[in-house]
């Protein structure tokens, strides 16, 4: 029973990872790509790790998988935030057809001016 | 020693993390973990766990449980939302960067709010302005450009929980 459950978690995780990768290809600009990849890859990978935990239970491998889930949940959004902020500050604008860009409007300080473009 | 309570909290967390990662009760593992945790606590004591008294109030842990449940549910919804968008041949997106206001003030509060926003449906935090309590958020489906309205839709439901947990 737990074997079946762990397999289900792993399969669902891999499916979400796949959706995230498709999003990475299909989305028009870096911000939308980050949206797709961060969300799907985080939950997808957490699903796989949780499946591993169910498979191995409270052994060295299983507990490490649990710790990895916490680590991933804390670090993935921070990495996405750093990438998005870095991209914006180095002059990458949202794609054509974006509704608004309040960040560019508010950024008047010299330090945050785009380097080029 | 200054920041003693912060250091104790840091030490406990790092030692617990070491124990779960090494996952053995061999005396060598325990000793090395002890030394490294003490060193980490000595170095990081005043940076990490700024207000140590917060770690000792049980009410926060109760709210933290609620936070975990809400978080898991929202995260799952976010994934279905992304899946729906990327699998749709027309790619139904209407992206934009909006500005929202928050009532959270502390560093940890803002960090968790930004993380939460990134992992919830359709939003990604781009930058935080701590002085003004403003977050810039990339929204995949912009419903409104108004600051108050966007704040109500995006942050208000998590703000309350995070305020109880962290502030």
Split at pLDDT 50, 70, 90, the class of A116 is very low
Look at B24 and A115; give whichever has higher pLDDT. Answer: B24
Contact (Cβ atoms closer than 8 angstroms) between residue A61 and residue B125: no
pLDDT tens digits for range A10-54: 999 999 999 888 888 888 888 888 888 888 888 899 999 999 999
Q: Å from B166 to nearest chain A CA? A: 16
- Three-state DSSP at B16 gives helix
User: Distance between CA atoms of B102 and B159, rounded to whole angstroms?
Assistant: 7
Same structural domain, B29 and B69: no
Same structural domain, B45 and B124: no
Same structural domain, B28 and B73: no
pLDDT for position B35: 92
Domain boundary among B35, B54, B73: B54
Give the start-to-end residue ranges of the domains of chain A.
Answer: 2-108
User: For residue A41, what is the nearest residue in chain B, using CA coordinates?
Assistant: B79
Same structural domain, B72 and B129: yes
Query: For residue A106, is pLDDT > 60?
Result: yes
Contacts of A21 (CB under 8 A, 6+ apart): A37, A41
Residue A49's closest CA among A61, A40, A37? A61
User: What is the tally of structural domains in chain B?
Assistant: 2
The answer for A 16-55 residues in CB contact with B (under 8 A) is 16, 19-20, 22-23, 26-29, 31-32, 34-36, 38-40, 42-44
The range of the structural domain enclosing residue B137 comes to 57-166
Query: For residue B146, is pLDDT > 50?
Result: yes
- Gyration radius of chain B over CA positions: 20
Same structural domain, B160 and B85: yes
Phi-psi category of A32—alpha, beta or left, where left has phi over 0 and alpha has psi -120 to 50? alpha
User: Distance between CA atoms of B88 and B19, rounded to whole angstroms?
Assistant: 46
Query: For residue B45, is pLDDT > 80?
Result: no
User: Distance between CA atoms of A46 and A23, rounded to whole angstroms?
Assistant: 18
Same structural domain, B116 and B140: yes
Cα within 13 Å of Cα(A94), Cβ side? 23
Cα angle A94-A96-A100, degrees, rounded to a multiple of 5: 60
């Amino acid at each position: 029973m737990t074997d079946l459950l762990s397999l289900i978690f792993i399969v669902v995780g891999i499916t979400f990872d796949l959706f995230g990768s498709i999003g990475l290809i299909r989305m028009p600009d870096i911000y939308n790509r980050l949206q797709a990849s961060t969300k799907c890859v985080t939950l997808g990978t957490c699903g796989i790790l949780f499946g591993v935990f169910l498979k191995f239970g409270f052994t060295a491998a299983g507990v490490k998988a649990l710790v990895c889930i916490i680590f991933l949940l804390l670090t993935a959004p921070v990495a996405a935030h750093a990438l998005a902020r870095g991209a914006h500050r180095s002059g990458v604008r949202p794609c054509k057809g974006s509704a608004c860009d309040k960040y560019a409007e508010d950024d008047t300080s010299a330090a945050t001016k785009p380097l080029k473009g | 020693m200054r920041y003693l309570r912060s250091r104790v909290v840091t030490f406990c967390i790092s030692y617990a993390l070491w124990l779960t990662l090494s996952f053995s009760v061999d005396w060598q593992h325990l000793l090395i973990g002890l030394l490294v945790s003490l060193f980490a606590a000595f170095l990081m004591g005043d940076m990490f766990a700024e207000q140590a008294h917060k770690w000792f109030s049980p009410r926060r842990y109760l709210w933290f449980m609620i936070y975990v449940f809400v978080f898991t549910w929202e995260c799952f919804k976010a994934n279905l939302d992304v899946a729906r968008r990327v699998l749709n041949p027309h790619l139904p997106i209407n992206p934009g960067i909006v500005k929202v206001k928050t009532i959270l003030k502390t560093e940890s509060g803002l960090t968790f709010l930004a993380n939460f926003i990134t992992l919830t449906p359709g939003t990604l935090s781009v930058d935080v302005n701590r002085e003004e309590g403003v977050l810039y958020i990339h929204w995949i489906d912009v419903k409104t450009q108004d600051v108050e309205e966007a704040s109500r839709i995006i942050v208000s439901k998590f703000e309350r929980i995070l305020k109880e947990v962290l502030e």
